[in-house]
Amino acid sequence: MTRRFGNSAWIRAASFCAILIIALMHSGRLFAGESNDRYRVALGVLSDDFKKARTLPPGSRPSPPDLDLSALLGLSSTRLRSALGSPDHRGHSDHAGCDAELCWVFTYGPKESFAPTVIKQENGLDTVVVTTGGPFLLVVGVSSNRVATARWEGQK
């Protein structure tokens, strides 16, 4: 009795090609993902630190994270907004040193409470404590829906 395996060879060849195509697609995704990994790490650090800073008591002035902001250059503005939330200020390059089509400003710290602290004195007078300055700002320049510039700015 003889068996015919003509179709079997074709099935093996097709299976091999399918496996090869899947392997090539996966390796291409790995190589294409290198810059995304760089963005993912930077965005993860910023997102976590911004969340912590925003939960601090009003008047807190946390120092910004020690992060090379050049890691954000080229990132899509949608991904940045997704990680940090909406900017506190958006405008058409009206922020000094923004050097881009649009300028986004993110406040690094709690939302400010503008109510001054009142201290009752023994002599019947009240003392008002006013805190000058404010939290650090992350100033991001956006051009063509990509991060073009990024820098920290301290307030005095």
Q: What is the DSSP string of 29-98?
A: HHHHTHHHHHHHHHHHHHHHHHHHHHTSPTT--PPPP---GGGGTT-BHHHHHHHH-S-SEEESS-STT-
What pLDDT is stored for residue 22 in this prediction? 55
Query: What is the SS3 assignment for 10?
Result: helix
Look at 54 and 128; give whichever has higher pLDDT.
54
- Model confidence at 12, pLDDT cuts 50, 70, 90, reads low
- Give the residue with greater pLDDT, 14 vs 92: 92
Distance (Å, whole) CA 124 – CA 101: 54
Has this prediction a pTM greater than 0.75?
A: no
Per-residue confidence (pLDDT) for residue 38, from 0 to 100: 72
144 touches 74 (CB < 8 A): no
CA nearest to 74, candidates 49, 105, 42: 42
Q: Which amino acid is at 79?
A: R
Q: Any idea what DSSP says for residue 28?
A: H
